[in-house]
Amino acid sequence: MKTFKDFTSYNKYIGLPKPLDNDIDIGYYDPPNMLLKSEPVMVDFYRISIKINFKSKAVPDAEPVTAVFFNSPDLVLTTGWDVEPTYTGMYLQLSKKIIEENRFLFKTYLDYGQHEALYLNEEEVREISSVFQLMLKYYESEKQHFGLLISYVNVLVSLVEVFYNRQFSTNPKQYNRIITDFQQSLIDYYNQPVKQIPNVQYFADKLGLTSNYLGDIVKHFTQKSAIENIHEFVIKKAKELLEENTKMNTAEVAYELGFEYPNYFSKFFKKQVNLTPREYRLQLASKKQIQ
């Protein structure tokens, strides 16, 4: 497997022009003069590819697609590629350094991974192409316009956010299935002995998705983040244990739920419910006496 640490070596490998900058690179694809078939590779920087009428030979019967694709550092293109030379499009490459320095400008889409493409309609292609032309204009000008260039990159990523929300909304069946699988995985997790509180990455791995992609789908359809959904479920389980297993003390409930430290569980419960576990039990006992 080939690994590429910089734009220059990667561009040379696939047949793209030499970059003008070490932290940002922008250009148009020219498939007839590019490498159309490759072994697996890994790039140590971020890539956004807008490909129009793109068709892979790996799926000969599939229709060409027009989509935005993402590649993140350390993401291996496990199967390499073998594509038709008939597509057009644009690419934006960003170093890890420039992302970290301007993280507040960028969304989570850069970390979606290669499998979560954004499919574009004709109007969206026109909008992205317009922004891209402006980006290229200031990319090819003097370095003094670098701040403006980064602003246009932010506009491009913001458009992607709008278009992803459209994609989530126009195909709810596909994404509702992901929500259902996420919720079932959460139930399954607590149907077995646990040693720790699960995180979003755990469920993303179970579903074969990146954590950012899963998080954005969960947020779109439930109006709450994935971690908020996890915490709500943990609180639900905690209430059940506190109510139905009165012989268990707070520490035992904490360990049952996967908390390493009972004190942390008490603080977590207090923050979510506005009562400590002990106060919650006392409240339950008081209500039963009234009844």
The CATH number given to whatever domain includes residue 30 is 2.60.120
- Per-residue pLDDT, 291: 58
Whether residue 182 has pLDDT greater than 90 = yes
Last residue of a domain, one of 114, 145, 168: 168
What pLDDT band is residue 17 in, cutting at 50, 70 and 90? very high
- Per-residue pLDDT, 144: 67
Residue 207 belongs to a domain with what CATH number? 1.10.10.60
What pLDDT band is residue 103 in, cutting at 50, 70 and 90? confident
Range of the domain at 16: 2-168
Is residue 141 domain-shared with residue 198, that is, in the same domain?
Answer: no
Mean local confidence (pLDDT), 230-235 = 97
Residue by residue, what is the 3-state secondary structure of the chain?
CEEECCHHHHHHHHCCCCCCCCCEEEEECCHHHCCCEECCEEECCEEEEEEEEECECCCCCCCCEEEEEEECCCEEECCCEEECCCCEEEEEEECHHHHHHCHHHCCHHHHCCCCCCEECCHHHHHHHHHHHHHHHHHHCCCHHHHHHHHHHHHHHHHHHHHHHHHHHHHCHHHHHHHHHHHHHHHHHHCCCCCCCCCCHHHHHHHHCCCHHHHHHHHHHHHCCCHHHHHHHHHHHHHHHHHHHCCCCCHHHHHHHHCCCCHHHHHHHHHHHHCCCHHHHHHHHHHHHHHC
- Per-residue pLDDT, 85: 93
Mean local confidence (pLDDT), 120-136 = 95
Is residue 159 domain-shared with residue 24, that is, in the same domain?
Answer: yes
Is residue 161 domain-shared with residue 207, that is, in the same domain?
Answer: no
Is residue 148 domain-shared with residue 213, that is, in the same domain?
Answer: no
Is residue 163 domain-shared with residue 272, that is, in the same domain?
Answer: no
Mean local confidence (pLDDT), 53-72 = 88
Mean local confidence (pLDDT), 247-257 = 95
Is residue 152 domain-shared with residue 190, that is, in the same domain?
Answer: no
Mean local confidence (pLDDT), 213-239 = 94
Whether residue 104 has pLDDT greater than 80 = no
- Per-residue pLDDT, 107: 64
Count of domains observed in the chain: 2
